Amino acid sequence: MGDRGKDDDMKHRKTNLEPLEPVAEKPESHNPMGRSVTSQKPEARLGREVQARIGQQLRAMYNDVVSQGVPQHLTDLVRRLGDQEAE
């Protein structure tokens, strides 16, 4: 399928995650699940490594689906509807 070029800019951006630390706004601070756990644990120093890993796995998981391309029935659907439009 030759029509994947358009979302290249999305892929190339890879990630927009900012460093974890500074969160000025906390509009959801009512959430009781928020911060409760850890930060005192010895594992905390692994934080950076863990975050890199999380980003990597997130993208790997996502790109696994992206690489499946467009299912044929959806290509057909879009082409068919595109041809019919506004008749």
Partner 1 sequence: MKLDPAIRDQVLATVPSLRAFAISLCGNIDRADDLVQETLLRALAHIDSFEPGTNMPAWLFTILRNLFRSEYRKRRREVEDADGRYAETLKSHPEQTGRVEFEEFRAALAKLPSDQREALILVGASGFSYDDAAAICGCAVGTIKSRVNRARTRLADLLAIDSVDDFGPDRATRAVLAGGGRN
State the SS3 of 14-53: CCCCCCCCCCCCCCCCCCCCCCCCCCCCHHHHHHHHHHHH
Q: Supply the minimum distance, in Å, between the C-beta of residue 68 and partner 1.
A: 7
Amino acid at 32: P
Residues that bind partner 1 (CB under 8 A): 3-7, 10-18, 20, 23-28, 31, 33-35, 37-38, 41, 43, 46-47, 50-51, 53-71, 73-75, 77-79, 81-83, 85-86
Q: Supply the minimum distance, in Å, between the C-beta of residue 52 and partner 1.
A: 11
